[in-house]
């Protein structure tokens, strides 16, 4: 779960930087892409943790 928290925190940081950047810059596109990738990675990791063997206990 620490990995999920770290990925979500990194996504929030990237989103904050994207909100400050100019929307016509290449940096903004890269930051938005990073937000999406980090958020999807967090969701996939959370799914793996929840569905891990022995998680019923």
Which residues, 6 or more positions from 7, have their beta carbon under 8 angstroms from its beta carbon?
A: 38, 39, 41, 42, 45
25 domain-assigned: yes
* Structural domain containing residue 46: 2-50
pLDDT tens, position by position, 31-54 = 999 999 999 999 999 999 998 887
**Residue 7 CB burial class (10 angstroms; 0-12, 13-18, ≥19):** buried
57 domain-assigned: no
pLDDT range class, residue 3, cuts 50, 70, 90: very high
- pTM here is 0.82
36 domain-assigned: yes
CA–CA gap between residue 16 and residue 8 (Å, rounded): 12
Report CA-CA distances (Å) from 14 to 22, 27, 41, 50.
14, 11, 14, 26
DSSP-assigned letter for residue 23:
T
Domain count, the chain: 1
56 domain-assigned: no
55 domain-assigned: no
């Amino acid at each position: 779960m620490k990995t999920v928290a770290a990925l979500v925190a990194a996504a929030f940081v990237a989103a904050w930087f994207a909100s400050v950047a100019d929307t016509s810059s290449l940096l903004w596109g890269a930051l938005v892409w990073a937000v999406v990738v980090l958020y999807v990675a967090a969701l996939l990791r959370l799914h793996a943790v929840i569905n891990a063997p022995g998680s019923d206990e």
